Structure 1
């Protein structure tokens, strides 16, 4: 049969599948970088002293028990006057972090602030209140969410996934599958460059997030 009998398709029709594929890939990457609440991060189960407890005297140690084993990153005690004391002496006992108290605490409300890494690699943090002698005004812990850092983290992840999915995947497609390799070469190179730049940047941002440090 003569090839001329087959109807020729307008070249513009090819844009539809390509555009649809790019949109689907971007949607997939956006879903991947969004925080997933379904993931089971470590949760605080109990503290000693218990949250809200009023003690007669200064405790010799503290303990934090989680729903799974964790690795402590930053342990801090906030005194009633707002000054902070780094707690660097601790022991891991399966799901419990036992922390030594290096000083005799004065009267008032204290905040035990913690930041740990759960088994899935995500940093989680929180705090517990307790008072010695009598309660006082709750000191400022400085645990407000740094939205600029969070935004930078998700942008970095999006660019990193763009390099992985669109750059690496696109390079494979151009090398092995595509008939006209030059069509998407610039797009693939751009995606690869985004991924290469985003990889070390994302690592640094994740480190800031793990330590609770500002951007």
Structure 2
């Protein structure tokens, strides 16, 4: 075998080894993204409120408190009056696992709704509401809890394309590096899967922010939406997934 042939063989072997190494690293990062995603299933639960849900009080409290099973950070706190008027609650303090919320104004007689949406220590957004009455109970004010189906559909679609990119894209890139050698049949499909995953993962970050804040799709361009999405547990999953997808794409070069 000539020196030129040896150099060509060594070069091809080196390229294949490099692709295999990058593909293997992409798979490792991909598995890490799944591990990060699994952590999102354990999140904060409300264990105590003051006033208690359904309580009837003689007068309005000076503050409200929500105690969770783990430390949280409030995203949206709202008091809905008996006439249905929402009042944002922006003054609060964090004390271990308790959120202490100042009551900004005297409360009239009737049934009020305290609505909350918080992000737990693991980055998972959770929300809920409680009823309490001043004097005597009245007809509870209507609190909109309608499902935002366009947003919900967009979230699921982005996650589907993200996992397509991870399983078929990153997995396919590793398979090509391991099995295909110099033959690159199927590379376009794998590259397309990875690119769809890259787009979907980026978009899903903003969609997660919308879901956390209970905002509509029309607010997607707001910076606070993306910052909130990045702060959730899914935000970490997206960051790790982006690294895995990038490495998978690099292994195809």
Q: Structure 2 vs 1, CA of residues 200 and 39 (structure 1 numbering), >3 Å: closer, same or farther? A: closer
Aligned residues: 181
- Superposed CA deviations along residues 98-123 of structure 1, whole A, max 9, x for unmatched, are 00011111111100000011222211
Structure 1 residue 175: Cα displacement: 3.2
The alpha carbon displacement at 1:140 in A equals 1.2
Q: Which runs of 4+ in 1 moved over 4 A?
A: none
> Which of 31, 43, 46 in structure 1 is aligned with 2:45?
43
TM-score by structure 1 length? 0.78
- Spell out the pairing of 1:74-153 with structure 2 (5 A cutoff): 74-153=76-155
Comparing 200-209 and 171-180, the one that deviates more: 171-180
Deviations 1:58-82 (A, max 9, x none): 1110000111111111000011111
TM-superposed CA distance for 1:144, in Å, is: 2.5
1 CA distance for matches of 2:73 and 2:165?
A: 31
Q: What is the RMSD of the two structures over their aligned residues, measured on CA atoms?
A: 2.0
- For 2:158 and 2:182, locate their aligned partners in 1 and report how far apart those are by CA, in whole Å: 31
How far apart in 2 are the matches of 1:40 and 1:172? 31
Specify which structure has the bigger relative contact order, considering alpha-carbon pairs within 8 angstroms and separated by 6 or more residues.
2
Q: Distance in 2 between matches of 1:150 and 1:180?
A: 43
Distance, in Å, in 2 between the alignment partners of 1:101 and 1:56 is 15
Distance (Å, rounded) in 1 between the aligned partners of 2:75 and 2:115: 11
- 1:128-207 to 2 correspondences below 5 Å: 128-179=130-181, 181-207=183-209
- Residues of 2 paired with 1:83 and 1:181: CA distance? 66
Deviation at residue 128 of structure 1 after TM alignment: 0.3
Q: Partner of 1:200: helix, strand, or coil?
A: helix
- Tell me the CA shift for residue 40 of structure 1: 2.7
Distance verdict in 2 for CA 1:131–1:181, change over 3 Å: farther
Kindly provide the CA deviation profile for residues 143-202 of structure 1, in whole angstroms up to 9, marking residues without a partner as x. Answer: 223233222112111111222232233223323432363321121111011112112210
Aligned pair in 2 of structure 1 residues 181, 116: CA closer, same or farther (>3 Å)? farther
Q: 1:41 deviation in Å? A: 2.0
Superposition pairs for residues 47-66 of structure 1, below 5 Å? 47-66=49-68
Residues 175, 181 of structure 1: 8 Å contact kept: no
> 2:93 & 2:184 partners in 1: Cα distance?
58
CA distance in 2, matches of 1:181, 1:118: 48
Distance 1:65 1:145 in 2: 26
